[in-house]
Chains A and B, each alone.
Chain A
Amino acid sequence: MKKLIENIVSKPTRPGMVGDGFRVFNYFPKGVITQRRMSPFLMLDFNAAYDFGPSDHVRGVDVHPHKGFETVTIAYKGSVAHYDSAGNSGVINPGDVQWMTAGDGILHKEFHEEAFSKKGGLFEMVQLWVNLPQKDKSATPHYQALLAENMGKLVLENNQGIVNVIAGSAQGVHGPASTYTPLNLFDIRLNSGGTFHTSTPSSHNTAVLSINGEIEVNGQKVAEHGFVLFKNEGEEISIHAPEKSIALLLSGEPIHEPIASYGPFVMNTDAEIRQAITDFNMGKFGYLE
């Protein structure tokens, strides 16, 4: 059965800055699209294509902690360099995804890659926060550097486009990301006139974000940067692109547990949040300059 659409939300009116390097439109949590409504997803920030111009310093967001969930950074244009207190570092180039499991707590920082920052240029990325079930919130922090060439590649017939499967599976093509709960994350790249048919369980909380181009989702027009939230009714989704377009599909089995959050900490109880704050203050997440 065709999945029913609950709401199509336009791009928020104003972006906010995260540090001085990320100019993001926040889609959720906002209004009725709460963390509970989008479970297991906690937050979606979209840095729509923006030319930061050349800079005399490296733009980004300085050291900050995370605990109890995962941050997924998808690069579309420009490059992001990241460093964490476990000693990991790397660069995410267009098409790459960094899937960081903060788990038991980590410090990290994200900047425009140095050469890109100095030269300037179009920067476009998504950051998605994915909740962890209670039993996994103490997981040892780690990250998966998912390179563009390693994504599951679903090539649509008749040159309609390609779907990069980041997590989950589409038409039997699996994504490389290892996840703690069942979820799908597809980077959909359609040529003009292309259509992608897929399905996600009705139990999944499912949404589609238009990254570039106006699209049609289950027959409904969605302006560029529009966000489609589906009801938990029906399974089938078709995304049609009258013009060359990029869309992001996210779906996941909700985690039916209480959510207690404070900034970059997402746990299940207020007591756990207080403990997370103490642990952070006492250096348990390590040190990062």
Chain B
Amino acid sequence: MQAFENYLKRHTPLTGEQISVLKQELKEKTYQKGKILLREGESTGLGYFVCSGLLRAYTLDSQGKEHTIQFAPEDWWLGDRNSFYFHEPAAFNIDVLEETQVVIVTKNFMEHATEICPEFGKYHIYLLHNSIRYMQRRINQLLAATAEERYLDFIRLYPKLTLRISQIMIASYLGITPESLSRVRKELARRNSRV
């Protein structure tokens, strides 16, 4: 919970007192690697703030192949909007890639935080717009960017993940084959290696 409090103090106008009030309706949980927090089609109304660890949102296509939508390492939020906001069946699955400590939030938390601190509402809107512009960027990348451009963007957004997840998973996120990813990394090494 401390990581979440620190995040709120750093990024939002919530005061310590207000956070203490809001904390009462929050749950903190630790999940082991491999746990599935949400399955496509379920509607839990839950979103997650990652205090430590790593979550992933993904879908499975008709051949059973995984497509990674988003990662959520420390200080990231993750939720399926259908389930979290609209209480409709989730479009994505969410699973746990490393032992992860989360704070579980609901739509009520966001609304309550805005009630007691209207400025929080503005932060929430900022968060949403920021999220949308990343999604727009991602759509454009998946449509138009080269494999190398996608990889360079990935390491800017998630610099530490190359140390924490497999190449196959990174390739899945980037929408390229693992072989293409290897080629990109090999080419970067050819240009930049100091070994």
| Chain A residues near B (Cβ < 8 Å) | 64-65, 85-86, 104-107, 141, 262-264, 274, 277-278, 280-287, 289
The minimal Cβ–Cβ distance linking A288 to chain B, given in whole angstroms, is: 9
Chain A residues, CB < 8 A from B163: 64-65, 262-264, 277, 280
The minimal Cβ–Cβ distance linking B181 to chain A, given in whole angstroms, is: 12
* Contact, CB under 8 Å: A287 / B159: no
How far apart sit A263 and B190, CA to CA, in the bound complex (Å)? 25
Which of the residues A263, A277, A283 comes within 8 Å of B188, measured between beta carbons? A283
The minimal Cβ–Cβ distance linking A229 to chain B, given in whole angstroms, is: 28
- Residue B193 CB within 8 A of the other chain: yes
How far apart sit A289 and B163, CA to CA, in the bound complex (Å)? 16
* Contact, CB under 8 Å: B159 / A284: no
Which of the residues A64, A106, A274, A283 comes within 8 Å of B159, measured between beta carbons? A274
Chain B residues, CB < 8 A from A65: 163
Chain B residues, CB < 8 A from A285: 189, 193, 195
Interface size class of B (residues with CB under 8 A): 10 to 19
How far apart sit A49 and B186, CA to CA, in the bound complex (Å)? 37
Which residue in chain B gives the minimum CB-CB distance to A280?
Answer: B162
Q: Which 9 A-B pairs give the minimum distances between C-beta atoms?
A: A283-B188, A283-B189, A287-B189, A286-B195, A281-B155, A286-B193, A283-B192, A287-B186, A86-B195
* Contact, CB under 8 Å: A287 / B160: no
Q: A287-B189, A287-B190 are in contact. Are A85 and B160 (CB under 8 A)?
A: no
- Residue B191 CB within 8 A of the other chain: yes
How far apart sit A282 and B162, CA to CA, in the bound complex (Å)? 11
- Residue B194 CB within 8 A of the other chain: yes
The minimal Cβ–Cβ distance linking B154 to chain A, given in whole angstroms, is: 9
How far apart sit A228 and B163, CA to CA, in the bound complex (Å)? 33
* Contact, CB under 8 Å: A286 / B189: yes
- Residue B185 CB within 8 A of the other chain: yes
* Contact, CB under 8 Å: A141 / B160: no
Which of the residues A86, A106, A264, A283 comes within 8 Å of B191, measured between beta carbons? A283
Apart from A85-B193, A285-B195, A287-B185, 4 more pairs, CB < 8 Å: A86-B195, A274-B159, A277-B159, A283-B192
How far apart sit A286 and B193, CA to CA, in the bound complex (Å)? 5
* Contact, CB under 8 Å: A278 / B159: yes
How far apart sit A264 and B163, CA to CA, in the bound complex (Å)? 9
The minimal Cβ–Cβ distance linking A161 to chain B, given in whole angstroms, is: 41
* Contact, CB under 8 Å: A282 / B195: no
Chain A residues, CB < 8 A from B155: 278, 281-282
How far apart sit A289 and B155, CA to CA, in the bound complex (Å)? 20
Chain A residues, CB < 8 A from B191: 283
The minimal Cβ–Cβ distance linking A63 to chain B, given in whole angstroms, is: 9
Q: A287-B185, A287-B186 are in contact. Are A281 and B162 (CB under 8 A)?
A: yes
Most buried by A among B189, B190, B195: B195
> Which parts of B162-191 form the interface with A (CB within 8 Å)?
162-163, 182, 185-191
9 A-B residue pairs with Cβ-Cβ distance under 8 Å, sorted by A, are A86-B195, A278-B155, A280-B163, A282-B188, A284-B192, A284-B193, A286-B193, A287-B190, A289-B182
The minimal Cβ–Cβ distance linking B179 to chain A, given in whole angstroms, is: 11
* Contact, CB under 8 Å: A281 / B186: no
The minimal Cβ–Cβ distance linking A274 to chain B, given in whole angstroms, is: 7
* Contact, CB under 8 Å: A106 / B195: yes
Chain A residues, CB < 8 A from B159: 274, 277-278, 281
* Contact, CB under 8 Å: A104 / B194: yes
Chain B residues, CB < 8 A from A277: 159-160, 162-163
Which residue in chain B gives the minimum CB-CB distance to A288?
Answer: B189
Which residue in chain B gives the minimum CB-CB distance to A287?
Answer: B189
Which residue in chain B gives the minimum CB-CB distance to A65?
Answer: B163
Chain A residues, CB < 8 A from B194: 104-105, 284
